[in-house]
Amino acid sequence: MRLRPTRRRTAAMRPSTESPTLDEGATTSQTTSPTASFALVLLPRGFVLRPRPPWPGASRSDRLERASRALDHLAHAYDRAWRELAREMLHLRIIPRDGALDALPLAYVDGRCACEVWDYRGRTPAGIPDVETVTLRTTSGLIAADAKREAEGMDVLDDEDVAMARRLALEGALLAATKPRLRLELIEPRPREKRRRDDGGATRAEMRGDD
């Protein structure tokens, strides 16, 4: 099942529970995708980011009334921060840049992690959620920021050049671990004799004044 698409925002903002339309062309979970390691639960009054399962004994058939009892006290409002989070996670399908997932246990496979989205919005108390697994990818900017934080957490070094070298080495290792391998194709050059023949023909044409 896919999440219910919502209307796009206009200049005058509509009620804050709306989120960007899910990108139908974005990559969703497939057989090679990582197993979801955390959940985004969308309740009528707010959203919750939790490890899986989002509450003890939770299942996809749980009704809204049970989810609300378990999570309402943890819910964050659908505010400006939510709109940015939804844009990154549900539309761009990237890991949020504001560190919203820092406290969650994330399992990465080929630079991607998976999130299980439980959407209770618009449901009655007896309603069950739409559930979708969304695959999120990292970005080079996030990798660089993570590398900097890790490097700064290392033993304090008096030599700034050495510290920078360690940061660059860490960033390189993270990029190598998460970026797909480059596929280089060899373009066969034109034979030298053919190039000379073509160039000579062009020169003779110019000398004759041909157009």
Strand partners, 155: none
pTM strictly above 0.85: no
Q: What is the dihedral of CA 167, 170, 174, 176, to 10 degrees?
A: 110
Of 89, 90, 47, 38, whose CA–CA distance to 68 is shortest?
A: 47
pLDDT, greater one: 40 or 148 = 40
Residue 14: is its pLDDT beyond 60? Answer: no
pLDDT at 105: 86
User: Which sequence spans correspond to the domains of the chain?
Assistant: 36-138, 139-206
pLDDT at 178: 58
Burial group, residue 25, by CB count within 10 angstroms (0-12, 13-18, 19+): exposed
Residue 186: is its pLDDT beyond 80? Answer: no
Confidence label for 210 from pLDDT (cuts 50, 70 and 90): low
Confidence label for 12 from pLDDT (cuts 50, 70 and 90): very low
pLDDT at 139: 80
